C-alpha cells in the first residue's frame, strides 16, 4: 500500500496497513534529516515517512520564506515581513488605518498567477503517483485580513460589524476561492484551508461572531470547491481552543480537521474523537508544545502508541503533531516517535 492509498483509506475508513502521518518540521530539522538521507525539500519529507506532501500556494508561504535574522521583505499582498527568530513576522500592515474606500480600491494579488503553483506542479510530477498531494491555501479568510489590516483594528471592526471588515474579508475569501480552484485543476488530493481562530484558553473571537461573519464565507469557499468537484477532500487548520465550532466545521463540509492541540482548553482529543469521529477525520496527535520537548525517548514511544490506539479506532485518523516540531525537540524523541509509527500495525 502506498502513501496515497493509505491516506485515502484512513479518510474513507477502509482497511490500511498502518496509520498515515503528516508531521511538520522546522526547516533546520528538515535540513538535518536531509543531510542524513542525502535528500532535500519534499524528498526529505518523503524519506522521513510523511504520507502527505503539500506546498503553500497562498499567504502563509511568506511566514517561512528564507531570510536572515532582522531582514525584511514585502510580499505580493504589500505586506512587510521581518525575520524574528524561527519565522518571519508581519511588521507593516498596508491597510492599517485605511478607510472603506481604500479597502474597496485595494487590489489583491492574482490567485490564478501560474507562478504561484510552480512548486505544486513540480511536487505532483515527482510524487503525485504514490503520495497524497495537498495544496495549502491557508490563511484563508481571517489571517490574510489581519495581516493586511492589523489584528486589533480587524477584531474591533468585526465585533462592531463595521463595513470595513466585511469588505476586506470578502476580498480574502474571493482570493482563496480562486487559489483553491486553480490548485484543484492541477490534480491535488485535497485542498487545505485554515485560519487560526483559537488561543490557548478559548477562541480569539466569540463563536457568535465567527458564525455570523467567518462561517458563511468559509462555506462559500467550500461550496465553490464542491461545485467544481463534489468529491474533493477539504481539510481545515486552526490552532488553539476551537471546541465550540467543531460541529459547525463538519456541518459546512470540512472533511479533515487539524491539529486538536491537546494543551489548549477543552481540546481533549479522545473526547472530540468520540463526539465527531463519525463525521470528521482528525489529523492530530502528539503535543509538540511541551511533551515532545521534555519527554524521554521511551515516553515518546509510549505516547505515540497511546495516541494511535485512542485516535485510530474505526479509521478517520492521520497522525500529526500538535503543530510544527521545532529545533528545541530532542532528535532522540523524534526518532523514537518515527520508529514507533514505522513499526505499529493496524
Strands of the sheet containing 256-258, edge to edge, are 52-53, 132-136, 190-194, 233-237, 256-258, 281-286, 317-321
In the structure grid, which three cell numbers stand for residue 77, read together? 499582498
Upstream peptide bond of 259 is cis (omega within 30 degrees of 0): yes
Q: What domain range includes position 179?
A: 3-343
For 190-237, write each residue's pLDDT tens digit. 999 999 999 999 999 999 999 999 999 999 999 999 999 999 999 999
Q: Which residue has the higher pLDDT, 86 or 250?
A: 250
The tally of domains found in the chain comes to 1
pLDDT more than 70, % of the chain? 99
3-state helix, strand, coil in the chain (%, to 5): 45, 15, 40
Please state, in angstroms and rounded to a whole number, the distance separating the CA atoms of residues 64 and 264.
24
Upstream peptide bond of 139 is cis (omega within 30 degrees of 0): yes
| Measured distance between the N- and C-terminal CA atoms of the chain, rounded to whole angstroms | 13
Q: Are strands 233-237 and 256-258 parallel, antiparallel or unpaired?
A: parallel
Q: Are strands 190-194 and 132-136 parallel, antiparallel or unpaired?
A: parallel
Question: What's phi and psi for 184, nearest 5 deg?
Answer: -60, -40
Dihedral sign computed on CA atoms, order 320, 33, 58, 289: positive
For 139-168, write each residue's pLDDT tens digit. 999 999 999 999 999 999 999 999 999 999
63: three-class secondary structure by DSSP: coil
pTM of the model: 0.96
Helix residue spans in 57-110 (DSSP H): 100-105
**CATH number of residue 299's parent domain:** 3.20.20.210
Please, are residues 141 and 217 in contact by the beta-carbon 8 Å criterion?
A: yes
For 206-219, write each residue's pLDDT tens digit. 999 999 999 999 99
Amino acid at each position: 500500500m502506498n502513501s496515497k492509498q493509505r491516506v485515502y483509506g484512513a479518510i474513507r475508513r477502509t482497511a490500511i496497513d498502518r496509520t498515515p502521518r503528516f508531521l511538520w518540521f522546522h526547516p533546520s530539522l528538515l535540513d538535518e534529516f536531509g543531510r542524513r538521507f542525502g535528500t532535500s525539500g519534499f524528498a526529505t519529507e518523503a524519506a522521513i515517512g510523511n504520507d502527505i506532501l503539500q506546498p503553500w500556494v497562498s499567504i502563509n508561504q511568506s511566514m517561512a520564506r528564507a531570510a536572515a535574522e532582522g531582514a525584511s521583505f514585502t510580499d505580493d499582498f504589500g505586506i512587510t515581513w521581518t525575520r524574528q527568530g524561527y519565522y518571519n513576522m508581519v511588521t507593516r500592515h498596508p491597510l492599517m488605518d485605511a478607510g472603506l474606500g481604500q479597502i474597496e480600491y485595494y487590489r489583491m494579488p492574482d490567485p490564478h498567477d501560474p507562478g504561484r503553483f510552480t512548486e505544486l506542479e513540480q511536487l505532483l510530477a515527482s510524487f503525485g503517483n504514490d503520495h497524497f498531494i495537498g495544496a495549502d491555501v491557508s490563511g484563508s479568510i481571517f489571517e490574510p485580513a489581519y495581516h493586511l489590516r492589523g489584528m486589533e483594528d480587524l477584531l474591533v471592526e468585526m465585533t462592531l460589524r463595521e463595513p470595513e471588515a466585511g469588505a476586506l474579508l470578502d476580498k480574502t475569501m474571493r482570493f482563496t476561492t480562486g487559489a483553491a480552484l486553480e490548485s484543484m485543476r492541477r490534480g491535488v488530493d485535497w485542498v487545505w484551508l485554515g485560519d487560526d481562530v483559537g488561543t490557548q484558553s478559548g477562541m480569539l473571537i466569540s463563536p457568535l461572531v465567527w458564525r455570523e461573519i467567518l462561517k458563511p464565507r468559509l462555506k462559500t469557499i467550500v461550496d465553490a470547491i464542491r461545485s467544481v468537484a463534489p468529491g474533493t477532500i477539504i481539510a481545515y487548520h486552526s490552532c488553539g481552543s476551537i471546541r465550540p465550532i467543531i460541529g459547525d466545521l463538519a456541518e459546512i463540509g470540512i472533511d479533515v480537521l487539524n491539529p486538536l492541540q491537546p494543551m489548549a482548553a477543552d481540546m481533549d482529543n479522545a473526547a472530540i474523537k468520540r463526539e465527531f469521529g463519525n463525521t470528521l477525520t482528525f489529523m492530530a496527535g502528539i503535543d509538540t508544545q511541551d511533551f515532545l520537548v521534555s519527554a524521554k525517548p521511551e515516553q515518546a514511544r509510549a505516547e505515540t502508541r497511546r495516541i494511535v490506539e485512542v485516535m485510530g479506532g474505526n479509521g478517520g485518523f492521520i497522525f500529526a503533531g500538535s503543530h510544527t516540531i521545532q529545533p528545541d525537540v530532542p532528535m532522540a524523541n523524534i526518532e523514537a516517535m518515527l520508529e514507533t509509527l514505522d513499526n505499529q500495525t493496524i
